[in-house]
Amino acid sequence: MRESAPPLPPPVEHRIRYVREDPAWVRWSLTLAAMAVVAVLIVVPVVHVFAGALKDGFGVYWSNLFGDPDTRHSIRLTLTVVPVALAANVLFGVAAAWAIARFRFPGRTLLTALIDLPFSVSPVVAGLMFVLIFGLQGYLGPFLRAHDVKILFATPGLILATAFVTFPFVARELIPVMEAIGDEEETAAVSLGASGWQMFRRVTVPNIKWGLLYGIILCNARAMGEFGAVYVVSGHIAGQTDTMPLRVEKLFQEYNLPGAFAVASVLTLLALLTLVIKAGLERRVPSERAHVD
Amino acid sequence: MAGVNRKVLPGFSLSLGYTLFYLTVLVMVPILACFSKAASLSLDQFRAAVWTERTRAAYVLTFGASFAAAAVDVLLGMLVAWVLVRYRFPGRRIMDSLIDLPLALPTAVGGLVYASLYVKKGWLGQYLVPLGIQGAYSRLAIVLVLVFIGLPFVVRTVQPVLEDQDADSEEAAASLGATRWQAFQRVILPPLYPALITGFALSFARSLGEYGSVVFVSGNMPYKTEIAPVLIVARLEEFAYGEATAIAVVLLIVSFAMLVLINVLERWSKGGAARA
């Protein structure tokens, strides 16, 4: 044994951390810069919404929200339109994910791509499409008029426009989740004699529930906040076709800033709640999802 | 897998049938209606609608502002993603969650608050307006609000690639005597290019169609601060459906081209991540 053995090199772990670690001044200045970016772009605006809403005290805030019949109506309308659009897209999302994640068929890749299409359509253009179909001069206009069915400038039009804009959310979340889970449990259930419905209820739904909830949360946030598409199809009839975001705009145009901020604060609370639920869910959904969006 | 599954698992025709039905009724028919309306215009009418001084000004502004905002987002998004992935500091988790706020916040709320932050008496405007920086009712206002809207797209595209980057090449660079800055430029940054470009494209595509926030902050002055979607709404309010549709088709074609490009980029981006 040699007496004068050179000292062992430092453990590899330490060396790695050393060469990959930036000097403290770089770390701190970059972290502070990133914090400043997030503060100016995101935190200050959020704080400002609540400051603007509560400027004249809580009593005024409350009467701005619930004392104005048009604002009250906009809240009710949003609570009518969003659940219907959401339910339609959930049904579609589950069906599309089942077909795409569980079976191979010609045109499967194309179908997956087409599902994303509404994301690339400007909301205003989406609204315009429904005007072209259901408007008075539209393709179905004369027919609807003859039968006294109102779609445009009424709740059905708002639902259609909202459903179009939020179309991909649930399907996009569910497809990778279902693919990651695989079909073994479902195949087992069916070969043990479960009916299609039993398999779906006892195996599929429990497996995908967190992914489904994740998709619903994102879809809901976007549906609640949709502006451009519903702006075009609504006709801006106060107390009739104004959803909450449209109400914000109208109050803003009327220079009623406290009123606009009051409605905006409710929407902001919903957005913050969405982020909290989303952060909670991200820990439960299979890790694949981190790479899908 | 196909043959086996279709024999074992139920619901293939039901689920596929419903998917195709819903996709057709809600998405394909409206898009076709838009193109068919545009096709009913004569070529001269179409050209007269989409190529006037006012529409040209709107296209230049829409593309210019979206491009500028996406470029700013690449820089800021890279910074935020780097800090979130590489450093540990108090409030990191909160910052990570807050990045998604622009996706969850209604665009009208974003527009409302940006419009009142940067006016002369606003929280930020009181410092900026005396310096000559008009952050509301100007072109800068449009870029600002689009930077807000687009930021999460860059951060969320770069973040996973940065997380998956392994230490080997960085260590090698260091052991071969590279400075930290050289290692960043030559070793860390190049594998991120595909993700950065994808993030740029996503942010740019989103900005092109953005309406809700911009309509609040821009002032919507024809030739000056009027973006293409605002112009479509203006035409609709004049009941000029043909002209509105013609401009919409121009936007649609550009958006579809962007969609194809983004798909190609995302594949490249994932390949880049795998190689890194």
Residues A157-176: what's their mean pLDDT?
A: 96
- Chain B residues within 8 A of A200 when measuring between CB atoms: 11
Residues B176-196: what's their mean pLDDT?
A: 91
| Cα A87 from Cα A123, distance rounded (Å) | 20
| Cα A144 from Cα B194, distance rounded (Å) | 50
- DSSP structure class, residue A291: G
Please state which of the ranges A233-242, A271-280, B188-197, B248-257 shows the lowest mean pLDDT.
A233-242
Please state which of the ranges A120-124, A140-144, A256-260, A287-291 shows the lowest mean pLDDT.
A287-291
Q: How far is B265 from chain A (nearest CA, A)?
A: 14
Q: How far is CA B203 from CA A30, A229, B48, B71, in A?
A: 23, 20, 30, 9
Indicate if the pLDDT at residue B244 is higher than 90: yes
Q: Which of B1, B19, B106 shows the shortest C-beta gap to A224?
A: B106
Percent of chain A with pLDDT over 70: 91
pLDDT band at residue A235 under the 50/70/90 scheme: confident
Q: How far is B118 from chain A (nearest CA, A)?
A: 11
What's the token pair of residue A276? 């909290």
pLDDT band at residue A155 under the 50/70/90 scheme: very high
Q: Which of B15, B112, B148 shows the shortest C-beta gap to A264?
A: B112
Q: Do B80 and A38 touch (CB under 8 A)?
A: yes
Identify the pLDDT of residue A292.
41
What pLDDT digit, counting tens, does each position of B134-151 carry?
A: 999 999 999 999 999 999
For A34, the closest chain B residue by CA position comes to B80
Q: Where are the domains of chain B?
A: 38-275
Q: Do A104 and B8 touch (CB under 8 A)?
A: no
Q: Do B212 and A245 touch (CB under 8 A)?
A: yes
- Chain B residues within 8 A of A33 when measuring between CB atoms: 79, 83
For B175, the closest chain A residue by CA position comes to A19
Indicate if the pLDDT at residue A48 is higher than 70: yes
Please say whether the structural domain B38-275 has been given the CATH code 1.10.3720.10: yes
Indicate if the pLDDT at residue A188 is higher than 60: yes
Q: How far is A172 from chain B (nearest CA, A)?
A: 13
Written out in words, the top-level CATH class of the domain with range A58-291 is mainly alpha
Q: What average pLDDT is seen over chain A?
A: 90
The set of residues, in sequence order, having a beta carbon less than 8 Å from that of B273 and lying 6+ positions away, is: B160, B161, B164, B191, B194, B195
What pLDDT digit, counting tens, does each position of B103-130 carry?
A: 999 999 999 999 999 999 999 999 999 9
What pLDDT digit, counting tens, does each position of A77-129 carry?
A: 999 999 999 999 999 999 999 999 999 999 999 999 899 999 999 999 999 99
Q: How many residues does chain A have?
A: 293
Q: How far is B16 from chain A (nearest CA, A)?
A: 5
DSSP letters, A102-142, are H---TTHHHHHHHHTGGGGS-HHHHHHHHHHHHSTTSSSHH
Q: Which residue has the tokens 């990959």?
A: A20
Identify the pLDDT of residue B271.
65
Q: How far is CA A91 from CA A156, A181, B18, in A?
A: 18, 20, 9
Q: Which residues of B192-216 are buried (b: 16+ CB within 10 A; e: fewer)?
A: bebbbbbbbbbbbbbbbbbbbbbbb
- Tell me where in chain A the CATH 1.10.3720.10 domain(s) lie: 58-291
- DSSP structure class, residue A238: T
Select the more confidently predicted residue: A9 or B127: B127
What's the token pair of residue A288? 């694949």
Q: Do A252 and B15 touch (CB under 8 A)?
A: no
pLDDT band at residue A132 under the 50/70/90 scheme: very high
Q: What average pLDDT is seen over chain B?
A: 92
Q: Do B229 and A122 touch (CB under 8 A)?
A: yes
Q: How many CB pairs lie under 8 A apart between chains A and B?
A: 296
Q: How far is A80 from chain B (nearest CA, A)?
A: 17
Residues A287-291: what's their mean pLDDT?
A: 45
Q: Do A128 and B8 touch (CB under 8 A)?
A: no
Q: Which of B87, B117, B212 shows the shortest C-beta gap to A48?
A: B117
Identify the pLDDT of residue B35.
96
Q: How far is B147 from chain A (nearest CA, A)?
A: 8
Q: Do A37 and B76 touch (CB under 8 A)?
A: yes
pLDDT band at residue A289 under the 50/70/90 scheme: very low
Which amino acid is located at A40 in the chain?
V
Identify the pLDDT of residue B272.
54
Q: How far is CA A130 from CA A20, A137, B27, B269, in A?
A: 54, 11, 10, 36
- For an interface test with A, the pick among B5, B7, B9 (most A C-beta atoms closer than 10 Å) comes out as B9
Please state which of the ranges A244-248, B5-9, B23-27, B47-51 shows the lowest mean pLDDT.
B5-9
pLDDT band at residue A293 under the 50/70/90 scheme: very low
Which amino acid is located at B199 in the chain?
G
| Cα B56 from Cα B59, distance rounded (Å) | 5
Identify the pLDDT of residue A288.
45
Q: Which of A35, A111, A133 shows the shortest C-beta gap to B30?
A: A133
For A282, the closest chain B residue by CA position comes to B97
Q: How far is B201 from chain A (nearest CA, A)?
A: 12
Q: Do A186 and B9 touch (CB under 8 A)?
A: yes
Which amino acid is located at A168 in the chain?
P
pTM: 0.91
Identify the pLDDT of residue A5.
59
- Chain B residues within 8 A of A214 when measuring between CB atoms: none
- For an interface test with A, the pick among B101, B137, B171, B236 (most A C-beta atoms closer than 10 Å) comes out as B101
